[in-house]
């Protein structure tokens, strides 16, 4: 765990979070209406501060090494309804109102496959065509 | 992402998972009845294989560097009802029937605190006394 200097104007509770060695914290995103777990992503401190400031989820993309405003391209933004912190202060649970679908493959949730015996099956319907959203 | 030799007798779908450089995959645990997100932990391949074989969650403790059968000490085991995999095959969603509470601090869920203005507040009741469970 790394110790970092406080971010100016960040609320004190953010300083109690335990970021990993890369300065990231896992964020589980849940639909606040249906309870469906929509996706899992990482936030750095800036992503969290921006999420709080805008009321919409921002994450940190480890592959692109860049801040990422969820829905900026697709319009499928997530309005933050509630933010929760786990016992060890090293995981966030973000309860949201999801616009469109959370998954870039066109599904409401990224968890559209389930284990059925010894294989994975898709048991959800696509709610949008990815090709028409991500041009 | 690391490539590892197949585990004997492991179903083929496990080989499609993308483990991180430490051979771990994040697991979000959700109550299959209430939809509450209970906890977040990591699995290595052995934890996943044991979870599937026993029908109860097993994780890998990074701090203790050891396999961990959830509820082995407390009796608060998690029966696996459904296992889901995300679009990128690098996160698991484990839907369970939770016995007792998932959180070692005595709460049903580890996410017993929520952001209220600029501070975190506890908005859940303890369902057991940790001191009486973890002797």
Structure pTM? 0.93
What integer pLDDT is reported at residue A35 of this predicted model?
98
Q: Is the pLDDT of residue A97 over 60?
A: yes
> Residue A51 CA to chain centroid, in angstroms?
10
Tell me if A111 and B82 make a contact (CB, 8 A cut-off).
no
Nearest to B119 among A13, A36, A115 (CB): A13
Q: How much of chain A exceeds pLDDT 70, in percent?
A: 93
pLDDT score recorded for residue A8: 59
Give me the pLDDT at residue A11, please.
84
- Residue A132: the pLDDT is 86
Query: What phi and psi values does residue A10 have, to the nearest 5 degrees?
Result: -75, 140
Q: Which residue among A34, A40, A113 sits closest to B28, beta carbon to beta carbon?
A: A40
What six digits make up the tokens of A102? 């959370």
Q: Choose the closest CB to A91 out of B34, B40, B88.
A: B40
Which residues 69-98 on chain B approach chain A with CB closer than 8 angstroms?
82-88, 91, 93
Give the other-Cβ count within 10 Å of A130's Cβ. Answer: 14
Angstrom distances, CA of residue B25 to CA of B17, B28, B80, B109: 8, 10, 17, 21
Q: Which tokens sit at A27?
A: 């964020």
Distance CA B24, CA B21 (A): 7
Helix and strand element counts for chain A (H, E): 2, 8
Please give the Cα distance from B84 to A98 (Å, whole number).
Answer: 20
DSSP state of B56: B
Residues B56, B83 contacting (CB under 8 angstroms)? no
pLDDT in tens, A36-81: 999 999 999 999 999 999 999 999 999 999 999 999 999 999 999 9
């Amino acid at each position: 765990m790394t110790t970092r200097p406080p971010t100016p104007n960040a609320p004190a509770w953010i300083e109690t979070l335990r970021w990993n060695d890369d300065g990231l914290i896992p964020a589980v995103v849940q639909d606040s209406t249906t309870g469906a777990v929509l996706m899992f992503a990482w936030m750095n401190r800036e992503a969290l501060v921006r999420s709080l400031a805008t009321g919409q989820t921002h994450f940190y993309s480890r592959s692109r090494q860049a801040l990422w405003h969820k829905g900026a391209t697709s319009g499928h933004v997530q309005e933050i309804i509630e933010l929760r912190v786990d016992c060890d202060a090293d995981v966030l649970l973000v309860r949201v109102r999801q616009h469109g679908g959370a998954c870039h493959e066109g599904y409401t949730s990224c968890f559209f496959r389930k284990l059925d015996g010894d294989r994975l099956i898709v048991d959800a319907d696509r709610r949008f065509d990815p090709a028409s959203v991500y041009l």
